[in-house]
Amino acid sequence: MMTKSMTGEEALALGAMMAGVRFVTGYPGTPSKGIFKALQEFSPTLPHPVHFHWATNEKVALELAIGATLAGIPSLVCVKSVGANVLLDALMTVNLTGVPSPLVIALGDDPSAWVSQNEQDSRWLALMSELPLIEPTRIEGATEIMHAAFQLSADLNLPVIVRFTRSFALARKEVPKVNLQPVTFSLSNPLPSIASGGNAITLHARLQEKLRFAEQWANEFKFNRKNGDGTIAILAVGPCVEKVDEVLDLLSQQSQQFDVTVLKLATSFPLPRRWLLDNLAGKTVALVIEEGMPFVEMQLKALLQESRQTIAVRGKLTGDLPSVGELTLRQIGKALRNFLPLSSEIVSQLPDPQRQQGFTLKFCDGCPYPPFLDQLVKTAQEMGVELVVSADPGCAIVAIGEPYRLVQIKHSMGGSVNFVASMAKFERSPNRRYIALVGDSDFFHSAFNGIVNAVWWKVPIGLVILDNGGAAFTGGQPHPGSGFNASNEFTTPIQIERLLSALDIPVQVVSSHDSENLPTATKWLLDYGNEIRALILREPCPFVPVWTQEGLKPLKTSGKIVGE
């Protein structure tokens, strides 16, 4: 059998390509951007064009994809965990209206928060929106699972969510070559597409009927698999299938004997109830192993209680597995020791990589920000004022740690302006300067709304727009001010200073390497008095592509980007 070395994201991208995706959108983040990038690399080999577009935020991306499906275009939305929160507003109506063409949301979660502000389990969004959710169990089958998600979307006329994790996305395996046909669908009467109080109950009932069909589909889904026939059952969910297989293989190599049933679950919502009940019949214990919260564990408890089964469900709720952090092989081995005669010495030798806590990120080589941050601290000291600095996710978060320890508030995209605006409104401390560090991609994502509100609220603050030409923290993807798009086509850059000037905000633009004007501009910013002032720090990131005579090229082609 022919195979090819692929990451999890590449295998998922291949499945979308084979399904016939024609529009790929999203907002850059890890994990999920790798699917977008892989599809860009695959697209020249396709017989049909694929349009790529990094949207200004995740809600916009989903709405663009919904519009594309109304035009008969199969679409894929790529977002990371916290990005899914942004698109929820649109998700909670498209679940009711449905989509006339296939629409899949590739949702990358980040257990242990390796590159995120939290380790949220986004599967609950599927439960809330009542949309089918599939979790790839092995990289070798990820291509077929993504293809199946597009087919299910076409069959149900619903968006389908494919949830994966960072470790699954980045892992690499030999993937067998498969030949899959494009998904077929019939586009008829795509309009009207309306969700309102006048039809919400009718549409909700229709959605729940579709979910019942999805459950029957899940009962027959070939990637829900069973191995063994012991009285102890291990229910491995999604990316944990690979981990459980590895643990059992390592233990068997050490002559650890055990007789278990391993159920490998890919359909987390709705659960394949009949498949689970059939395969758990006669078992005494079911240990649920899943990444994130006890999403499947809680559903399974309810199912067994409803069915009057006396099987003991164990997992995170019972303390057999930790409720926080990404699961390690050793943690899984320790959980198995509660039910199987395993050697504690051998289990203790299983890998146990832990996410170290603390703020240890450093700026990339050639980063334009350190000179400005040094100047900001120096100017504040000279003026005898105290800085209250809020930052949004992005390169500026490096200033949380040493040597700056400058950022005191950091939550989510677009929040920095609102946090300091509200503090300034209610504290009104004459010796404090309230500063928001806003990235350029973040400005277009959601910070602009907060800036408009601050002007309307008449709150004096200092805005620093860190304009380095792209979404540098996640790999240099373009935004509306970059001058190019996801297809590497020239576009007219939307100038941030013109938008701010339209709000009557005084603006200065300076380079961080302009040693002559930077001190004066920084003092001007901190001396904002009773008005909002904005300082745009414009200096290209060496990793973000810029237009050259040879086309789009980054200034720096080697080295590691801080957020990757």
pLDDT tens for each residue of 277-329: 999 999 999 999 999 999 999 999 999 999 999 999 999 999 999 999 999 99
User: Residue 181: what pLDDT?
Assistant: 93
What confidence tens digit (pLDDT) does each residue in 388-398 have? 999 988 888 88
Amino acid at 528: Y
Instruction: Calculate the average pLDDT of the chain.
Output: 91
Predicted TM-score (pTM) of this structure = 0.91
What confidence tens digit (pLDDT) does each residue in 482-539 have? 888 888 888 888 999 999 999 999 999 999 889 899 999 999 999 999 999 999 999 8
Amino acid at 236: A
User: Residue 549: what pLDDT?
Assistant: 53
Q: What is the mean pLDDT of residues 367-391?
A: 92
Eight-state DSSP code of residue 180: -
What confidence tens digit (pLDDT) does each residue in 148-192 have? 999 999 999 999 999 999 999 999 999 999 999 999 998 878 889
Token pair of 287 as six digits: 């240990």
Residues sharing a CB contact under 8 Å with residue 53, sequence separation 6 or more, in sequence order: 23, 24, 25, 61, 64, 485, 486, 487
∠ CA(14), CA(18), CA(20), 5° rounding? 120
| Tally of residues, the chain | 564
The residue that leads in pLDDT, 556 or 272, is: 272
3-class DSSP state for residue 55? coil
Q: What percent of the chain has pLDDT over 90?
A: 73
Q: What is the mean pLDDT of residues 120-143?
A: 97
At 548, the pLDDT band (50, 70, 90 cuts) reads low
Domains and CATH numbers, the chain: 3-220 (3.40.50.970), 225-347 (3.40.50.920), 369-554 (3.40.50.970)
